[in-house]
A and B are shown apart, each in its own frame.
Chain A
Amino acid sequence: MSLASATRKGAGATAPAARTLAFLSPWLIGFSVFFLYPLISTIYFSFTKYNGFGSPTFTGLKNWDYVFNDLPAFWQGLRNTLWLVVVMVSLRVAFGLGIGMLITKIKSGVGFFRTAFYLPYLAPPVAATVAFAFLLNPGTGPVNHFLGEIGLPQPGWFADPNWSKPALTLLAMWGVGDLMVIFMASLLDVPKEQYEAAELDGAGPFQRFRYVTLPNISPIIMFAVVTGVIQTMQYYTQAFVAGRVAAGNAGNSGQQFEPGYPNGSTWTLPQMVYNLGFQRFNYGAACVVALVLFVISMAVTSVLMRRKSGFMASDD
Chain B
Amino acid sequence: MQSTTSPARRSRRTLAAVTGSAVLALLATACTGSSDGGGSDDSASGKDVTITFWHGWSQDSEVKAINDNIAAFEKAHPNIHVKAVGNIADDKVNQSLRAGGDDAPDVVSSFTTNNVGMFCSTKAFVDLKPLLAKDGIDAAKTFPAAMLNYTQFQGNQCSLPLLGDAFGLYYNKKAFADAGITNPPKTFSEFAEVANKLTVPEGDGYKQLGFMPLYHGYESTTEHFLGQYGPTYFDPAGKSTVATDPKVAAMMKWQKSMVDKLGGFDKLEKYRATFGEEFSAKNPFHTGQVAMAIDGEWRTASLATDKPDFEWATAPFPVPDDQQDTYGRGYQTGTIVGIASTSKKQAAAWEFVKFLTTDTDAVVSFANAIHNVPSTFAALESPKLVADENFKTFVNIAKHASSGTTPAVVNGGGYLVSVQNLGYDYESGKQTDLTAGLSATAKEIDAAIAQAK
Contact = CB atoms under 8 A, between A and B. Distances in A.
B134 interface: no
17 contacts: A39-B20, A41-B31, A45-B30, A70-B443, A70-B444, A140-B274, A156-B273, A159-B273, A252-B279, A254-B58, A258-B417, A263-B424, A278-B30, A281-B122, A282-B411, A294-B23, A305-B8
A279 B12 CA distance: 35
Interface of A: 31, 34-35, 37-39, 41-42, 45, 50-54, 62-63, 66, 69-73, 137-140, 156, 159-161, 226, 230, 233-234, 246-256, 258, 261-264, 270, 273-274, 277-283, 285-287, 290, 293-294, 297-298, 301-302, 305, 309-312
B154 interface: no
B71 interface: no
Given A251-B277, A278-B95, A31 B24 contact: no
B2 interface: no
Given A137-B273, A138-B274, A254 B89 contact: yes
A241 B222 CA distance: 23
Interface string B437-452: 0001001100110011
Interface string B22-59: 11111110110111000000000000000000011110
Nearest to A136: B273
A298 B21 CA distance: 11
Contacts, number: 209
Interface string B76-112: 0000000000111111001100100000000000011
A310 B86 CA distance: 50
B274 A255 contact: no
Contact of A45 (B16, B31, B417, B443): B31
Given A53-B35, A280-B412, A156 B270 contact: yes
Contacts of B123: 53
Contacts of A39: 20, 24
Contacts of A293: 23, 26
A53 B98 contact: yes
Given A52-B98, A139-B271, A256-B90, A70 B448 contact: yes
Contacts of B269: 156, 159-160
Nearest to A236: B26
Interface of B: 6-9, 11-12, 15-28, 30-31, 33-35, 55-58, 86-91, 94-95, 98, 111-112, 115, 118, 122-124, 216, 218, 269-280, 411-412, 414, 417, 420-421, 424-425, 428, 430, 440, 443-444, 447-448, 451-452
Contacts of B279: 251-252
B28 to A, nearest CB: 4
Contacts of A248: 216, 218, 275-278
Contacts of A254: 55-58, 86-89, 111
A63 B450 CA distance: 11
